[in-house]
Chain A
C-alpha cells in the first residue's frame, strides 16, 4: 500500500501551529462549493510514479500547492512558511501513515486566478514527495 500524500499533507499541515495562525484549518484537497475566504491552501496531486515497480515500496507524488492570499504578500508568506516546514520537520515517520524520505521542490510561480474579477492572488508551488509505507 502506497501513501496517500494529499491526505498526509493536509492532516499534517493542519496540526502545525505556524499554519493555523495564518489560515486556521482552511487546507483543502478539493475546494468546497462555497468558496472559503482568503487566505487558504489547496493541495493537488498532479503526477508521480513509483521509484521501482518491484518491490512496490518507494513512491513519488508530485504535488501542486496553491496558496491563495488576500493580498499577494500573505500568499507568499504562506508559501514560504509551508515550504520551510516541509523542508524540515515533515521528514521522518508519520505513525500509521508512512515515512517521508525526501521532499524536492520544483517550480514556483505567481499565477493569479483569472476566473475572478479582480483576479485572486495566488502563488503556486510544486514539490515531489518521496514516501514509503
Chain B
C-alpha cells in the first residue's frame, strides 16, 4: 500500500533552523554532492591555463580545471546550495547546439539517489 507523507515546509524550516545536527547532515550531504560533481566535471585536452590558439584566434575552453574548482556548497537560508559560479556553466550542464551536455551536477544528483528539480521555487515542476 502506498503511503504519502506530506512535509510541512514551515515546520521543516523551523526544525532545520533550530537543529544544528540536522543542518550538519545537510551540510555534509551538500559537500559530498559538490565533490561528486567536481569529479564528474569533464577535463579535456585543455588542462593548461589560459587560452588555446587556433588559426591565430584565442579560444577559452569550459573544460579547464579552474571551472571545476568553481563548484561550491554554501548555506542558503535553512538549506544548502551546490552551485558553480562560472557564468557559462549551463553550457557544460545542458550543452548547446555545438557542445554536448556533460551534466556533472545531474550525474552527481542521480548517483546520490536524489531528485534533480530545475528552477526550484519557480513552480515549473
Contact = CB atoms under 8 A, between A and B. Distances in A.
A66 B124 contact: no
A66 B116 contact: no
A44 interface: yes
Give the 10 A-B residue pairs with the shortest CB-CB distance, closest first: A109-B118, A115-B96, A46-B103, A111-B94, A113-B96, A107-B116, A64-B101, A31-B97, A107-B118, A47-B107
User: Chain B interface mostly helix, strand, loop or mixed?
Assistant: loop
B125 A46 contact: no
Interface of A: 31, 35, 42, 44, 46-47, 62, 64, 66, 68, 106-111, 113-116, 120, 124, 126
A46 B101 contact: yes
Contacts of B119: 109
Interface of B: 88, 90-91, 94-103, 106-107, 110, 115-119, 124-125
A107 B106 contact: yes
User: Chain A interface mostly helix, strand, loop or mixed?
Assistant: strand
B86 to A, nearest CB: 13
A46 B107 contact: yes
Contacts of A126: 106
A64 B90 CA distance: 14
